[in-house]
Structure 1
Amino acid sequence: MTPELLDCVSIRVPASALESFEAALSSICLAVSFYHDEDADEWDIQGVKERGADEDELNAALLIAEIVTGFQPAILRDLVPVAGWLARTQAAFPEQFIGRRFVVRGTHISAPPVPGRITLTLDAGLAFGTGEHNSTRGCLNALERLAKYHRPARILDLGTGSGILAIAAAKLLHRGVLASDIDFRAARVANANARLNGVARFAHAIRADGWADRRIIRAAPFDLVFANILARPLCAMAHELAANLAPGGRAILAGLLNTQVNWVVSAHRRAGLALEHKITDGTWSILTLRKS
């Protein structure tokens, strides 16, 4: 039997072009990963998508990224077996201890629960967010810190990906969490992961275009909003975020480089949100903002 194949797209870019090209691949690909080559100070970005699908859309997205950044990378294309790609991804996905409260593990790890830690079980598959990336780790650390002092009742995970943050909040706070993603596949994966972690009655994901979705607006105001996205859309949505946060509510923002912190903080300060705490993890920053 011929193995099912995925298209694999690989590019190498400087830090200044990372956001644009990562966004271009993320708009089309099933999963995107990126790694920092510290010696060269460049980023390797790799995306996988269904074979032959969305070629015109992908080429258009990459062209826009080239125009925006003024950088034209070499684009490498390859075919990888689905099973082989998932197997390699799982092999590179060891158990991860994050902060003092969380441990993230794939279903291929059968060790008993770690005393004193909340286990988040999910596989490194076709949706972003397994705790390996600095931004996801930082959001979990920010959640742990916030939970020491606050018990938010209404929680939104905007751009949920794998659902890891929604699941973590549901397990730690025992609260209902509404999760959303513009990609229907991510919403489906997030709901499957919620069932896998036994929190399907607390965490529910929907396919939604952010604040434009009426279901999200009807559920507002929120006491806590996660938005692990990218700096540009974070800034664009600052006023909508502020309008849908309850007084005293917090937002945990991630997906931004250290060089973008001032830009993101300024946009949200103009919307009425103040920086409460910042976590720096490598070249990435995670912000906790508060509405007065």
Structure 2
Amino acid sequence: MSERVRELETLELVVSAAAAPLFEAAMAEICRSVGRFREEPGERWRIEGIRAVGAGEEKLALALALAAAVSGEQPELRRIPTPASGWLARNRADFPEQVIGERFALRGTHLPPGRTAGRITLMLDAGLAFGSGEHGSTRGCLIALERLARRHHPRRILDLGTGSGILAMAAARLFHRRVLASDIDPWSVRVAAENARRNFLARRITVVAGDGWRKRPLRHAAPFDLVFANILARPLCAMAGALAQHLAPGGTAILAGLLSSQETMVLAAHRRAGLILTGRVRAHAWTTLILRRPCHAR
């Protein structure tokens, strides 16, 4: 992606103090940068997020609808054109190398070339890709992945809702396997493919555009030994049956994109589909669930 930055916009809404964390989390699903500011006078808070115009529109609508349903508030969403000049430079200055768990390091392309000793280092453009490792759900997935690697070595891997491709690249490097990655947003598909090439993983990672399990390459490549699904709580619940169907016996699913308050709902849907909870990772307000399909039906 480098310096090719799409037109930017600032998304802005004002909510109560109680609803602010929910809408901030919703914005973080899509926006590269999110901030919360107290309105004076009073107890209202302004939530602002910056994104590429049109990026992840459906995912944004779902996230805001969920926040509205939980909070009972329906704030007006303002869209403000934002000059790209200067924003990328400021953003890069705020994106130092990130060390995650025991195995991974993420470095922006604006940093001097280098690798962190003893870690899998992934290079990312500090631009507008969804997911730079800063978000709690992405960090939770990477920690869950390194836990899994202590006991299992999956062969067929899917990253559903890949965003910037971090999880697909991490799995490809960790297991030296081919990975299929998909996303509903065409911009994310392009960014993930560019990041794979940047990390010399283009031969191992195939990125396709698709909505959930409807895409033929996903169905044809199943069953999977490992599936990442870092999306949203309600889509996770809706796809629980399809996930279980396309997961190999003994296979693992790492689910993220859910607030800790949504854990019970997501877990119940997947238990009904026959999956078993084997672990969880909590990062700030976010929870990552690690589930397994039993090798034999009860």
Q: What range describes the TM-score normalised by the shorter chain of this pair? A: 0.7 to 0.9
Amino acid at match of 2:200: G
Q: Cα gap change, 1:258/1:35 in structure 2, threshold over 3 Å: closer, same or farther?
A: farther
Cα displacement (A) at 1:214: 1.1
Structure 2 counterpart of 1:46, from 43, 46, 49: 49
Alignment root-mean-square deviation, CA:
3.2
Q: Cα gap change, 1:64/1:104 in structure 2, threshold over 3 Å: closer, same or farther?
A: closer
Q: Secondary structure of the equivalent of 2:144?
A: helix
Cα displacement (A) at 1:233: 0.5
- What is the distance in 2 between the residues matched to 1:256 and 1:44? 19
- What is the distance in 1 between the residues matched to 2:241 and 2:111? 42
Amino acid at match of 1:193: N
Q: Does 1:18 align with 2:18?
A: no
TM-score normalized by structure 2? Answer: 0.84
Q: Cα gap change, 1:45/1:190 in structure 2, threshold over 3 Å: closer, same or farther?
A: same
CA contact (8 A) 2:129 2:163 kept: yes
Q: Secondary structure of the equivalent of 1:175?
A: coil
CA contact (8 A) 2:172 2:178 kept: yes
Q: Cα gap change, 1:22/1:232 in structure 2, threshold over 3 Å: closer, same or farther?
A: farther
- What is the distance in 2 between the residues matched to 1:61 and 1:166? 24
CA contact (8 A) 2:12 2:49 kept: yes
Q: Cα gap change, 1:9/1:178 in structure 2, threshold over 3 Å: closer, same or farther?
A: same
Q: Secondary structure of the equivalent of 1:200?
A: coil
Corresponding residue number in structure 2 for 1:242: 244
Corresponding residue number in structure 2 for 1:262: 264
Q: Secondary structure of the equivalent of 2:206?
A: strand
Unaligned runs of 5+ in 1: none
Structure 1 counterpart of 2:215, from 203, 213, 216: 213
Superposition pairs for residues 1-292 of structure 1, below 5 Å? 5-13=7-15, 14=19, 17-18=22-23, 21-22=26-27, 26=30, 31-34=31-34, 44-50=47-53, 68=69, 70-73=72-75, 75-292=77-294
Q: Cα gap change, 1:260/1:119 in structure 2, threshold over 3 Å: closer, same or farther?
A: same
CA contact (8 A) 2:14 2:44 kept: no
Q: Secondary structure of the equivalent of 1:82?
A: coil
Aligned length: 281
- What is the distance in 1 between the residues matched to 2:61 and 2:101? 40
- What is the distance in 2 between the residues matched to 1:137 and 1:63? 22
Cα displacement (A) at 1:191: 0.5
Unaligned runs of 5+ in 2: none
Amino acid at match of 1:264: V
- What is the distance in 1 between the residues matched to 2:224 and 2:108? 30
- What is the distance in 2 between the residues matched to 1:59 and 1:201? 31
- What is the distance in 2 between the residues matched to 1:289 and 1:227? 11
- What is the distance in 2 between the residues matched to 1:265 and 1:255? 13
Amino acid at match of 1:251: A
- What is the distance in 2 between the residues matched to 1:170 and 1:57? 28
- What is the distance in 2 between the residues matched to 1:289 and 1:110? 38
Q: Cα gap change, 1:109/1:218 in structure 2, threshold over 3 Å: closer, same or farther?
A: same
- What is the distance in 2 between the residues matched to 1:178 and 1:41? 43
State, as a whole percentage, how many aligned pairs show the same letter. 53
Cα displacement (A) at 1:255: 0.6
Q: Secondary structure of the equivalent of 1:211?
A: helix
TM-score normalized by structure 1? Answer: 0.86
CA contact (8 A) 2:110 2:126 kept: no
- What is the distance in 1 between the residues matched to 2:283 and 2:6? 37
Cα displacement (A) at 1:37: 7.9
